Structure 1
Amino acid sequence: MITDSPVADAPNNQSVNNGPVHSAITYEKIPTHIYADAKAASRAVAHEIADLIRQKQGEGKPCILGLATGSSPKTVYAELVRMHREEGLSFRNVVSFNLDEYYPMEPDSLQSYWRFMREQLFDHVDIPAENYHVPDGTIRYDKVAEFVKRYEEMIAEAGGLDFQLLGIGGNGHIGFNEPGSLINSHTRLMMLDHSTRAAASGDFGGLPRTPRKAITMGVASILAAKRVVLLAWGERKAPVIRGAVEGTVTETNPASYLQTHPNVLFVIDEAASSELTRMKSPWLVDTVVWDNKMIKKAVTHLSLTLGKPILKLTDRDYNDNGMSDLLAQYGQAYDINIDVFNQLQHTITGWPGGKPNADDTNRPERALPAQKRCIIFSPHPDDDIISMGGTFQRLHDQGHEVHVGYQTSGNIAVADDEALRFADYVVDFNSKFGINSPEATRIFQDAATSLRLKKDSEMDTPEVRHVKGLIRMGEAKATCRFVGIPVENAHFLNMPFYETGKVEKKPLGEDDVKVVMDLIEKIKPHQIYAAGDLADPHGTHKVCLDAIMEAVRRLKHKNFMKDCWVWLYRGAWAEWDVSEIEMAVPMSPDQVMKKRLGIFKHQSQKDGVVYQGTDSREFWQRAEERNRGTAAIYNRLGLAEYEAMEAFVRWKF
């Protein structure tokens, strides 16, 4: 059993000793443990599984595990592998049954869950090969009914599942039990929801190549397990987690069926917990410490919930919405309203690099030095313009020395047909004009040949990745020219962790940190902008941010770092909560249009993006809606009305 670390004296919403966050009262109908990050949470779950395995070994019994795939359990499996290697944890008595598999699917395919489980766990521990089972994606269609019946029988013959590990889809699916699945459903062939296919499309090189079906254990099969633990990481899972643990039991959110299980636990990180009542409005469930951060969070939440500008909130509004103790501590609503309003007003600036010859007491950035050196770190070659294109342009126009550090090549996000068109062009150009570069010609000819013969299950060759990287590099340079900065200010770091040719990346390494450190030391910036979009804690943005933070920590003793501020922006997926924003840069309609044209320079990312996710809009549409949404929130709070805004939070290292 996962146990809680002592946190009796901990402030609200803070993790202590890597243990879960506590709250005396919650709205949750399922026990939910919140950890600071996925790594700490995964360790706790892995240790529960290890304890169960050892307990069963002591009893001379097999341990029957139901296992999941996807990004969520990877860190759990990594910890189990570590315990096997370093602590002697044996899997000889483990019998496992996996939740699901795409259909049809060859077991050696890159996307196969057979392959996933072997690479993540089975090949690294001593579990006998005959003891692990994954649904067969190669079974003939007319044999599927017989197969799924037998799969259920095998679980029953083994004694039933002692422990079922789950992830959760963005639409609430568990296994591949999509919305609409019934509580009494068993192992079966399932049609996949469009949102599920869209979320997986990056693994398959686009939606058209993504399977439409999967074999999955049913809801009843999952609920039959003696113990169920569900994992969820990242803020993109936050809404569906809230629905599952605070909402009603409904087929539209299959994870909510777990409310009926007597021994279930949700293990989530703080990002995935952000929509839970105890995290979003903790004053409604428990006593809170009314510091400035909490006051700002509560007042903005109250204003938006009631649809009233901050300066119109009354004592009664506070009393009727769980904030009477705030009034008792700080006085009337009028004074609190003005204080919070002024704080929000002071975040707005048209001078993201600081306004020269101005009193900067209430401005988010320093006035001096008047001309700053700035590095915008862009995880992919288009994050700079998508996430902060208006600010990027402002910094240049206002005379600052702007550099962009493109952290990865972004090569896997280029469609094969786009790369083939580019490779054919180069080969034809060289041939037509008699350009004799045997090595270059060979690379592009090999890439073109590989792309023509490539199967869906095959990785890109090094030559293809090179071509795709050149495409994205050219687009990034075009953006820099569009903004007005010299191309030599575009730095292509090609961090090694990214260059696997697969969606799955290598862990952050020393070489990754060093290349970031080298650029910071070379530029000696007064400002660093970094992507703080952690919607997917296993994604490229998270790894790139970790590299920057580690580089900054190592360099903070340098004299130039004493005058360096780090600002975090969000990507096309989410935005900062208004109570967190420390700098908001407004944009006029013309500036919004110019940003859009800058995004258009990334032609390979238009009209059918490889890694589009569940959002069918193009990146420029997402960015504009997000920026307009931020401006609209400020306006609803009673501040000036702008066309759009880009928002930033300062990381005080």
Structure 2
Amino acid sequence: MGNYKTASEMDKLKRFEKIPTEIYKDSGEACRAVAQEIASLIRIKQTKGEIAVLGLATGSTPTRLYGELVRMHKEEGLSFRNVVTFNLDEYYPMNPDALQSYVRFMNEYLFDHIDIDKHNIHIPDGTIDIKDVSRFCFEYERKIAEVGGLDLQILGIGRTGHIGFNEPGSPKDSVTRMITLDHLTRVDAASDFFGEENVPRTAITMGVGTILKSRRIILMAWGEGKAKIIKTTVEGQITDSVPATFLQTHHNATIVLDEAASAELTRTKTPWLVGTCDWTSRLIRRGVVWLCQQVDKPILKLTDKDYAEHGMSDLITQHGPAYNINIQVFNELQHTITGWPGGKPNADDSSRPERAKPFPKRVVIFSPHPDDDVISMGGTFIRLVDQGHDVHVAYQTSGNIAVFDDDALRFADFVREYCSALGIAKEETANLYQKVLSSIVNKAPGQVDSHEVQLIKGLIRRGEAKAGCRASGISDAKAHFLDMPFYETGRVKKKPLSEEDIQIIVNLLQEIKPHQIYAAGDLSDPHGTHRVCLSAIFQALERIKAEGAKWLKDCYVWLYRGAWQEWDIDQIEMAVPISPQELLRKRRAIFKHQSQKDRPLFPGSDAREFWQRAEDRNKATAKMYDKLGLAEYEAIEAFVRYKF
């Protein structure tokens, strides 16, 4: 593994990066590289007649790694007979058969699919009596030592900087023990437990000291959501408030990232501070925007001195003077702004992000959940409809797990009362209500809903989506509910994307033959649904392209981001201004999603409601354009074009 270039570049990186860090295009490529290292270790040990001792992690980060190891076992004959494993942690208390159990997780993703001896598997026990926990932890440490220590430890990282469940404040020499979970950790786990109130408050975890005794450590992180804590871990000071920073003291630790998780690292965000770089048009724009923020000036007021004092002399030498660079970037950003997201008819479109023709356009807005359309691009949605385009919305999933039990019960009661009032099958509806009531009342924390309850919750969200469409100006007939099968598990954990999922997208696109597609590029969605839904769209487009569909040659794909974050200014290719009146219309459309109002079931770590997050984000984008010296708007929705 590795993507450093020359020794000189590595020396420059060391000024910032205190742990060797490798960046891959995506998590799939990264996991294949890590899996190869693990496989190599196992095979070398096999030739010596020795055991390979692996420390394993759970959570969404290592799932593709485990999938690759399973593939290598089945297709390449990689044997795990000489492997001994120790998992990092487990919730306490926790039944091993529970949906959230790390025992169950490891069995489902790895152990049930390889030839490992079950006696060689060690996972903290979430069922032992509280008085026996200390003794269990002592024995866990003893067993690790007995097999000679960990050869290789796999880690993920939490937003608090925890490794394992070593929360902020964990000392460097800590050992396996019970620990109280940080509030942020419990918030992040809330979706797995169907509510924060169901998340255990304690866990058993290997200590930082235990981890640091490993002969080799690989910490993996994917997605924009991990970018800030990765920067702190790799470039920050060592502190027990961010336990992952202790990895800086290890002689053989490596951080493995996808491009998104590396976004805040100096070499990615401001590579000119590390050394010379290739000043592409995109990098020039990023550098100029960054410089404006550093000196608090609009673009056209930047000087040669500003560039020189902030490590950008090379840019002036290659493309200067400052005036030329400033004009270039100012014009590029100016040309991203358009009040006509579907293209302005009978206008010169040579410097506009969208084509004037054809007009009107057929448009498909893909919405991963039933409210992402109005939350993420509601203003643009309204603008497209008002300007006469044929707009369709495709809701990719039912969103049924994000509805409170009480809402489902309330709707079941409404059906019972409505039917009773009309004298319709009173006994049957009463029985249904009792069945739903019994299912909800007797459901254990984190248990999957019954089929009837899942159906009701899905219909609640479907009705809200239709109301949101009507508020945005289109009829129910233009709302398409795809109910992609990968989502329908009743759990946060979904099924793998299937042929059926992709074909559903293909069929819809072939039916409508859109000139524009809008899709969620919000890959930091903490539930992962956005990522899977986008993958399905991309795969569908590639399939349609391979089939030679002529309409696809005249189709633009625009990616929006959702409630979690926004595109950086240097990335934006289309910026749609939203007036105060349109912002209010967008808010009203979001309000139609009443089950997500006030307190959604899975709010993430942000206490604001979704409409507040969206408005604050849109206003912040507009303010940034204003501070750069461009026109001042109330709000802006931003898009990046996907070129396939």
Report the TM-score range of the alignment, normalised by the length of the smaller protein. Answer: over 0.9
1:25 aligns with 2:13: yes
Alignment partner, residue 133 of structure 2: 144
- Equivalent position of 2:479 in the other structure: 490
Q: Which residue of 1 aligns with 2:626?
A: 635
Compare 636-645 and 307-316 and name the one that shifted more: 636-645
Query: In the alignment, is the contact (CA less than 8 A) between 1:200 and 1:613 conserved in 2?
Result: no
Displacement of 1:208 in angstroms is 1.0
TM-superposed CA distance for 1:424, in Å, is 2.3
- Asked whether 1:609 is paired with 2:600, we answer yes
| CA offset digits 1:527-575 (Å, max 9, x no partner) | 1100011115971111111111122222233222222111100011111
Shift of 1:24: 6.5
Write the distance in 2 (CA, Å) between the matches of 1:326 and 1:357.
Answer: 39
One-letter amino acid matched to 2:357: L
Residue from 155, 160, 165 that aligns with 1:166: 155
Partner in structure 2 of residue 124 of structure 1: 113
- Per the alignment, residue 272 of structure 1 pairs with 261
What do the CA deviations read for 1:284-320 (whole angstroms, capped 9, x no partner)?
2132222211111111111112211111110011112
Counterpart code for 1:469: G
CA distance in 1, matches of 2:134, 2:540: 55
CA deviations on 1:470-529 (whole Å, 9 max, x unpaired) are: 011000001011111011000001111111111111121111111111111111111110
- Distance change in 2, residues 1:390/1:536 (3 Å): closer
Q: Percent identity?
A: 61
Alpha-carbon distance between aligned partners in 2 of 1:525 and 1:444, rounded to the nearest angstrom: 43
Match of 1:624 among 615, 632, 643: 615
Task: Say whether 1:582 aligns with 2:573.
Answer: yes
1:38–1:537 CA contact under 8 A, matched in 2: no
Query: Against the structure 1 CA distance between its residues 561 and 297, is the aligned structure 2 distance closer, same or farther, given a 3 Å change threshold?
Result: same
Asked if structure 2 preserves the Cα contact closer than 8 Å seen for 1:205 and 1:610, the reply is: yes
> SS of the residue aligned with 1:376?
strand
The letter of the residue matching 1:115 is R
Q: Which residue of 1 aligns with 2:172?
A: 183
CA distance, structure 2, for counterparts of residue 38 and residue 334 of structure 1? 40
Q: CA deviation at 1:590?
A: 2.3
Deviation of the 1:274 alpha carbon: 0.4
Aligned positions of 1:252-401 closer than 5 A: 252-401=241-390
Query: Which SS does the other structure have where 1:204 is aligned?
Result: coil
Distance 1:304 1:221 in 2: 43
- CA RMSD after TM alignment: 1.8
Q: Residues 416-444 of structure 1, C-alpha deviation per residue, up to 9 Å, x if partnerless?
A: 22212222222332233222399877666
1:4 aligned onto 2:2: yes
Q: Secondary structure at the match of 2:134?
A: helix
Q: Tell me the equivalent position of 2:397.
A: 408
On the 8 A contact 1:447/1:467 being kept in 2, the answer is no
Query: Alpha-carbon deviations, 1:364-407, whole Å to 9, x = none?
Result: 11122231111100000000000000001111111111100001
Task: Name structure 1 gaps, 5 residues minimum.
Answer: 9-20
Distance 1:554 1:92 in 2: 41
Q: For 1:7 and 1:381, how far apart are their aligned partners in 2?
A: 45
The answer for the alignment partner of 1:17 in structure 2 is none
Q: Tell me the distance in 1 between the aligned counterparts of 2:480 and 2:605.
A: 31
* 1:470-549 equivalences in 2 (<5 Å): 470-536=459-525, 539-549=528-538
Distance 2:535 2:388 in 1: 30
- Where 1:202 maps in the other structure, the secondary structure is coil
Would the aligned equivalents of 2:472 and 2:585 in 1 still touch at CA under 8 Å?
no
Cα offset, 1:23, TM superposition: 9.6
Q: Residues 483 and 186 of structure 1: is their aligned pair in 2 closer, same or farther, counting only changes over 3 Å? A: same
Q: Confirm whether residue 68 of structure 1 aligns to residue 57 of structure 2.
A: yes
Is the 2:472–2:586 contact (alpha carbons within 8 Å) kept by the matching residues of 1? Answer: no
1:219-263 deviation digits (Å, cap 9, x = unpaired): 111111111100100000000000000111011211111000001
Give the alignment's TM-score, normalised by structure 1. 0.95
The amino acid that maps onto 2:134 is A
TM-fit CA distance, 1:330 = 1.8
Report the Cα distance in structure 1 between the residues aligned to 2:610 and 2:39, rounded to whole angstroms.
43
Whether the 8 Å contact between 2:492 and 2:527 is mirrored in structure 1 is: no
Q: Look up the equivalent residue of 2:388 and give its one-letter code.
A: G
Give the corresponding residue for 1:646. 637
TM-score under structure 2 normalisation?
Answer: 0.96
Contact 2:26 2:259 in 1 (8 A): yes
- 2:416 matched to which residue of 1? 427
- Cα pair 1:273 1:279 within 8 Å, conserved: yes
Report the CA distance shift for 1:384/1:23 in structure 2 as closer, same or farther (over 3 A): farther
1:169-222, Cα deviation, whole Å (9 max, x unpaired)? 011110011111111211111111111111110010111111111111111111
Cα–Cα, structure 1 residues 114 and 422, in superposed 2: closer, same or farther, change >3 Å?
same
8 Å CA contact 2:415–2:429 kept in 1: the answer is no
Cα contact 2:419–2:429 (8 A) shared by 1: no
Contact kept, 8 Å, 1:235 with 1:536, in 2: the verdict is no
Q: Which stretches in structure 2 are left out of the alignment for 5+ residues?
A: none
On the 8 A contact 1:444/1:463 being kept in 2, the answer is: no
What letter matches 2:70 in structure 1?
V
**Displacement of 1:72 after TM fit?**
0.4
Structure 1 residue 596 corresponds to structure 2 residue 587: yes
Is this contact kept in 2: 1:23–1:278, CA < 8 A?
no
SS at match of 1:363: coil
Task: Classify the secondary structure of the residue corresponding to 2:191.
Answer: helix
Inter-CA distance 6–263: structure 2 relative to 1 (3 Å threshold)? closer
